[in-house]
Amino acid sequence: MSGCVFCGIVAGEVAAFRVADEPDGVAFLDTRPVFAGHVLVVPRVHLVTLGELPADLLPGYFALVRRLAVAVETGLGAGGTFVAMNNKVSQSVPHLHTHVVPRTKGDGLRGFFWPRTRYQDDTEAQTYADRIAAAL
């Protein structure tokens, strides 16, 4: 898609520190990493949200994400990884992308800075569960 920086990276028109370039997607270093080695994985086709990813592309795309999560941990000697995706809200580039962030114990990252809450009671929790299940 014209004007999309991630499409430009996929096409080789925009420079990036590539980690993987495969039929199922392209992975490259985030230019503003949470921690050094923070990788973004994008599908080759321009899609904005996970909901737009065709079912036939899911296995290959998420297999690549899984492989990157293992490679980031192994290659960097990280204690683990944080794998995340935003859909619309907080999506700085409107192209589907998955973050693979290396983690180490005591690195200071606290739940990716998400405020945590509690349900008022089990009834409220069940109501939310039911609404999501009904939407499936």
Query: Do 26 and 42 form a contact (C-beta atoms < 8 A)?
Result: yes
> How is residue 19 annotated by DSSP?
E
- Active site amino acids: 97
In the block, tokens 């990157």 appear at 68
Handedness of CA 45, 51, 57, 62 (dihedral sign): positive
**Secondary structure of residue 127 in the 3-state scheme:** helix
Query: Do 93 and 72 form a contact (C-beta atoms < 8 A)?
Result: no
